[in-house]
Amino acid sequence: MGFSALKGQPLATALLRKTIATGRVGGGYLFVGPEGVGKSKAARLFAMALNCESTGDAPCGVCPACRKILAGEHPDVFSLGFQTGKTRILIEQIRELQEGLAYAPYEGKRRVVIIDPVDTLSPEAANAFLLTLEAPPSHTVLILVTSSLYALLPTIRSRCQIVRFSILSKEALLAVASEEGLAVDPGSPYLDRCQGSMTRLMAFLDAATSEKDSEMWRFLTGLLTNPGEVDLIETPKWAKQKTSVMAFLGKALWLFRDLLVAEETGAFPYVIDGERTRRVREKIRHVPPERVQALILSVFGLLDDLKWNAAPDLVYEYFRCEVESLYG
């Protein structure tokens, strides 16, 4: 594990590593940098390194202390953020923290408090927290995380050692994405547009997925209800990608199943998207259910072809012709 889990932050990593190696640990650290560049992850890694049972300048990730912190179950590591439904960290939370800090650490070498994001402390909470920051209990390290340094009380800023985090390079973004199991094309324009923020990159990818999703539904219902429509004749761009055509055929199966359920029960309450099914059914009333069943089998065959590396756009074309034949 070690600090290498933190991608694209050489300066912050070097500073944290040196702190652990020399054992000269301060009472308060302020992790500052843009949204989505690894500050929260760094805070957890630092908490692990401070309590790790192995020797060295980085967390091992496998000792009981590291594992408990990873699971969020270490009794000496307190994580404070805003509660569900709230937009601020409240004074009650700070009071509760201060009560907890009155006792000695249970099992850790050091007690660690992570406040993330610290700029959401309510004014009363911030004032109450200053008492802790001015005189932290012994063996306690406070890690404060923020993306807006100047939203903090100057007294909070001045009492902490500042650890700066920078925006992520393309390579670092790709490394983080692959670690999280996200497939990102190295040529994706979003890697530039996200301005080095993983949070923004994910938002772009989510939006692109849902845009493609509605585009696929438009084509699918279009092919079924109005196959002669001009802008449906050209093969869509996404049909070049195997995963997209698979997703498209998956939607087709979903819709055909709906049509059969509606046909069988004469009602729409059980289908997944009643409105869409109703619209399609209006148009293909003349098609006997056996033809829809045959189409389902044919889609299964096409999905197999894709698995065996058939060209996705040809598979799409084949599907389009099959649907068109319903009208022939």
126 contributes a contact to Zn ion by CB under 5 A: no
> Min. distance of Cβ 111 from Zn ion in angstroms?
16
123: preceding bond cis by omega (within 30 degrees): no
Binding-residue pattern over the window 185 to 204 for Zn ion, x denoting contact by CB under 5 A: --------------------
255 contributes a contact to Zn ion by CB under 5 A: no
User: How deeply is 11 buried, as exposed, middle or buried, from its count of CB atoms within 10 A (0-12, 13-18, 19+)?
Assistant: exposed
Paired tokens of 18: 């040196």
Q: Are the C-beta atoms of residues 32 and 162 closer than 8 Å to each other?
A: yes
Paired tokens of 56: 């060295």
> For 308, phi and psi rounded to 5 degrees?
-90, 20
Q: Are the C-beta atoms of residues 79 and 70 closer than 8 Å to each other?
A: no
> Min. distance of Cβ 3 from Zn ion in angstroms?
12
50 contributes a contact to Zn ion by CB under 5 A: no
Q: Give whichever of 45 and 66 is closer to Zn ion, judged by the CB atom.
A: 66
Q: Are the C-beta atoms of residues 25 and 141 closer than 8 Å to each other?
A: yes
1 contributes a contact to Zn ion by CB under 5 A: no
Q: Give whichever of 72 and 328 is closer to Zn ion, judged by the CB atom.
A: 72
DSSP string, 154-169: HHHHHTSEEEE--PPP
The stretch among 12-20, 58-66, 214-222, 283-291 that binds Zn ion (CB under 5 A) is: 58-66
52 contributes a contact to Zn ion by CB under 5 A: yes
Scan residues 221-250 and list those touching Zn ion (CB under 5 A): none
60 contributes a contact to Zn ion by CB under 5 A: yes
Paired tokens of 227: 């196959």
Q: Give whichever of 49 and 160 is closer to Zn ion, judged by the CB atom.
A: 49
The stretch among 22-30, 51-59, 70-78, 293-301 that binds Zn ion (CB under 5 A) is: 51-59
> Min. distance of Cβ 67 from Zn ion in angstroms?
8
> Min. distance of Cβ 103 from Zn ion in angstroms?
24
Residue 8 backbone zone (phi > 0: left; psi -120 to 50: alpha; other: beta): left
Q: Are the C-beta atoms of residues 141 and 168 closer than 8 Å to each other?
A: no
Q: Give whichever of 66 and 216 is closer to Zn ion, judged by the CB atom.
A: 66
- Which one of residues 15, 25, 63, 175 is an interface residue with Zn ion (CB under 5 A)? 63
# residues near Zn ion by CB under 5 A = 4
Q: Give whichever of 45 and 172 is closer to Zn ion, judged by the CB atom.
A: 45
With H, G, I as helix, E, B as strand and everything else as coil, classify residue 138: coil
Give, in degrees to the nearest 5, the angle at Cα 117 between 112 and 122: 105
Paired tokens of 57: 């300048």
- Judging by DSSP bridges, how do beta strands 111-115 and 161-164 pair with one another? unpaired
Q: Give whichever of 46 and 256 is closer to Zn ion, judged by the CB atom.
A: 46
66 contributes a contact to Zn ion by CB under 5 A: yes
CA-based radius of gyration for the chain? 28
Q: Which residues bind Zn ion (CB under 5 A)?
A: 52, 60, 63, 66
